[in-house]
Structure 1
Amino acid sequence: MPDRLPPIPFDALTPAQQAVAQAVIDGPRGALYGPFIPLLRSPELMLAAQQMGEYLRYRSAIGTRLSELAILVTARHWDQQVEWAIHAPIAAQEGIAPNVIDAIARRQPPTGLAADEQAVYDFCVELQRDKRVADATYAAALRQFGEHGVTDLMGLNGYYTLLAMVLNATQQSAPPSTAAPLPE
């Protein structure tokens, strides 16, 4: 499947597109890739999305390791190969065990999770699957992360759902990755 909204050469971008593209390149991502390629068609949306994503990915109240776990659950829910290719290696680097990553890829509940990881996994699975979170699951997350952390966890789910929708709708190809593609 060809990308529906492929990369645009930098010199062919409008001034508004160049400004937001440069903001992504100059930020912690260091390059324009993934969902930002199709989002570039709407510079104001892309700017707002990249600012939210920069906060959630690099500075969320639950920390990078648990944010990456939430991203993997969301990517798996949406069968999103680009997000998986990008974030499965980062999750491993941040300390998410390979057996946990593999279980999520296979849609199996992972075993041996630490209490904070279990709280994130349960919260994300319920929110993505059921479109709500049970009282006990919410209370467990609240005990682990407080209101700020739970709010950021909801934000991670929503933000990476937005990106998954963009990437799935535009049929963007997954980049080369050390992670195996998600199984069908």
Structure 2
Amino acid sequence: MTECRMPPIAEKDFTAAQKQAQDEFVAERKVPFSGPWHVFVRSPELLMRTHRVGEFLRYRCSLSGRLSEFCILMVARHWSQDYEWGAHRKHALAAGVTEASIAAIRDGRRPSPLADDEQTIWDFVSELLATRRVSDATYAAAKARFGENGVVELCGLVGYYSMLAMTMNVARVEPPEGETALPRFPE
């Protein structure tokens, strides 16, 4: 990977709006200010609106943590987003996604075996990312398993993590410390 285009801004160089956004983020999320947020702080209002959507999708959506993290890894792999992958690989393991599934997603393969709910996520997310829509059959399967609310939240996860991935790819955000870059597929 080449040098980061938008490295972290030193706190002493923050504008008042950037400082306020960082302080609110840390107070609300209770996690370090890292990864995409160093990029998004360049637009403090977008940072705060984006973080609130992410807080809902990560911690309060109707899909289980295991299914959410499975989806997030699929999105990170689709965009070859190293930071997103490295950060969420650990979350996925903690949420119950198997090492074998994580390795398959990393390598661009369909994991096998998959639980029924993971198969529904795999089919829906794969199809949505590949074709920008889903077939009636794929939609019906997702709706039957997760309801309309779950389908909308699944779309939200794909869209939110795609936005983060695209932004971090443009900024060339490096993987988290201790993590390695994803293998690149031919483009």
TM over 0.5: yes
Q: Partner residue of 2:68?
A: 67
Structure 2 gaps of 5+ residues are none
Q: Partner residue of 1:122?
A: 123
Q: Partner residue of 2:38?
A: 37
Q: Percent identity?
A: 42
Which contiguous aligned blocks of 4+ residues in structure 1 show a shift greater than 2 angstroms?
none
* Equivalent residue pairs, number: 183
Q: Partner residue of 1:88?
A: 89
State how far apart, in whole Å, the 2-side matches of 1:43 and 1:28 are.
16
2:107 partner amino acid: R
1:151 partner amino acid: V
Shift of 1:23: 1.9
Shift of 1:175: 1.2
State how far apart, in whole Å, the 2-side matches of 1:29 and 1:79 are.
27
1:4 aligns with 2:13: no
State how far apart, in whole Å, the 2-side matches of 1:57 and 1:68 are.
9
On the 8 A contact 2:82/2:180 being kept in 1, the answer is no
The 1:36/1:172 distance shift into structure 2, 3 A limit, reads same
State how far apart, in whole Å, the 2-side matches of 1:64 and 1:171 are.
27
Q: Partner residue of 2:183?
A: 183
Kindly provide the CA deviation profile for residues 60-83 of structure 1, in whole angstroms up to 9, marking residues without a partner as x.
Answer: 111211111110000000011110
Shift of 1:19: 1.3
Kindly provide the CA deviation profile for residues 85-136 of structure 1, in whole angstroms up to 9, marking residues without a partner as x.
Answer: 0001110110001110100000011111111111111111111111111111
Could you say what secondary structure the match of 1:27 adopts?
helix
State how far apart, in whole Å, the 2-side matches of 1:159 and 1:22 are.
22
1:138 aligns with 2:144: no
Q: Partner residue of 2:102?
A: 101
The RMSD of aligned alpha carbons is 1.2
Matches within 5 A, 1:42-53: 42-53=43-54
State how far apart, in whole Å, the 2-side matches of 1:29 and 1:153 are.
25
State how far apart, in whole Å, the 2-side matches of 1:110 and 1:90 are.
18
Shift of 1:18: 1.0
State how far apart, in whole Å, the 2-side matches of 1:141 and 1:180 are.
33
1:79 partner amino acid: S
Question: Which deviates further from its counterpart, 108-117 or 150-159?
Answer: 108-117
Shift of 1:28: 3.0
TM-score, with length taken from structure 2: 0.94
State how far apart, in whole Å, the 2-side matches of 1:8 and 1:180 are.
23
